[in-house]
Structure 1
Amino acid sequence: MTTTTNTPTTSPTTSASREVEDLLGTLALHRGLLKHTVRGLSDEQAALRTTVSELCLGGLVKHVTLVESGWTAFLTEGPEAVSGADGNTWADGFRMLPGERLADVLDAYDAVARRTEELVRALPDLDADRELPPAPWFTPGARWSARRVLLHVLAETAQHAGHADVLRESLDGQRTMG
């Protein structure tokens, strides 16, 4: 007679791949919420500021695209990839510039998402780390693992998806959730 238990068992490989899929799945969920929030907007609406800040809906998508692209480049290229931009370049990442189209911004976001997912799935280990670039907001000599980078990108995406929901509601009353 064979007895079975309801105790789950995992091998280290299964556990690691499940962690990757859980993290990527959660990131995809929040990307989807952000993209849903901007659905149906014209380029002009995507560029409108609905608060006193520089934020606009298209700019938020641009920002999370730049953040995700920079941090995944950090994993492959090192700290130089996130060493920071000048003030104008940074500010332009939060707004739609003349001639920019929301469809192109969303296409760029989708391309970055595909690259991130390919890179993360190909990593042999989420514990691999790199030293962060010098910056006033990083402890000197601090290191981030690939896991920490992915969690940071996920947090940025979730936070800005929430911001986008507020901006969209201010624009035309539409809410992503609720």
Structure 2
Amino acid sequence: MHDLLDALAGHREALRYTTRDLTDEQAGLRTTVSELCLGGLIKHVTSVEKRWGAFILEGPSALVGVTDMTEADWARRADEFRMLPGETLAGVLDAYAEAARHTDEVVAGLPSLDVAHPLPEAPWTEPGTRWSARRTLLHIIGETAQHAGHADIIREALDGARSMG
């Protein structure tokens, strides 16, 4: 359990590090053909941690609305990937730190990482699929690592600063 939380902490730090010394405006800039910006990536990973951390505790009810999203839901989800007017980098980072703290507490409080819940029915999920807390935590780690890599590219395109390598 501790190895997984340590790995997640390292990926979180790599992601946060990409935002060092940036202004709110810079955190919202798109620097590639992608729609992604640094602040938006942090917001998205925050959402991922909240959603999947809740799944570990509550099961599929935590993912209600993910598999049957309306057009308005998709529009709100798109806002998860950008800095909106009035949002600050400090606020986004604070929300991420809170989500990370909560995920760590949830995982540390489990009797075992074998606790499992069924995934909700979705076109991308095999019927009857169950994810353990371990599998869910690995998903959070993978999302965080992937987006830390995206963030490194975005940051380098922004001002030449590199975080990895």
Regarding TM over 0.5, the answer is yes
* Partner residue in 1 for 2:37: 56
Tell me how far apart the structure 1 counterparts of residues 29 and 121 of structure 2 sit (CA, whole Å). 35
TM-score, normalised with respect to structure 1: 0.87
TM-score, normalised with respect to structure 2: 0.93
| Larger CA Rg, structure 1 vs 2 | 1
Tell me how far apart the structure 2 counterparts of residues 28 and 57 of structure 1 sit (CA, whole Å). 18
Tell me how far apart the structure 1 counterparts of residues 37 and 4 of structure 2 sit (CA, whole Å). 27
**Alpha-carbon shift at residue 80 of structure 1 (Å):** 2.3
* Partner residue in 2 for 1:42: 23
Tell me how far apart the structure 2 counterparts of residues 82 and 89 of structure 1 sit (CA, whole Å). 16
SS for the counterpart of 2:86 is coil
Tell me how far apart the structure 2 counterparts of residues 100 and 37 of structure 1 sit (CA, whole Å). 18
Tell me how far apart the structure 2 counterparts of residues 134 and 55 of structure 1 sit (CA, whole Å). 29
* 2:79 paired with 1:98: no
Unaligned runs of 5+ residues in structure 1 are: 1-19
**Alpha-carbon shift at residue 152 of structure 1 (Å):** 0.3
* 2:52 paired with 1:74: no
**Alpha-carbon shift at residue 129 of structure 1 (Å):** 0.5
* Partner residue in 1 for 2:12: 31
Unaligned runs of 5+ residues in structure 2 are: none
Match for residue 146 of structure 2 among 145, 159, 167: 159
* Partner residue in 2 for 1:126: 113
RMSD: 0.9
SS for the counterpart of 1:40 is coil
Question: Counterpart of 1:104 in structure 2: which amino acid?
Answer: G
What is the total number of aligned residue pairs between the two structures?
Answer: 159
Question: Counterpart of 2:111 in structure 1: which amino acid?
Answer: P
1:56-110 Cα offsets, whole Å, 9 max, x none, are: 0000000000001100001112212123152112111111111100100000000
Instruction: Work out which structure has the larger RCO, using CA pairs closer than 8 Å and 6 or more positions apart in sequence.
Output: 2
Identity %: 64
* Partner residue in 1 for 2:123: 136
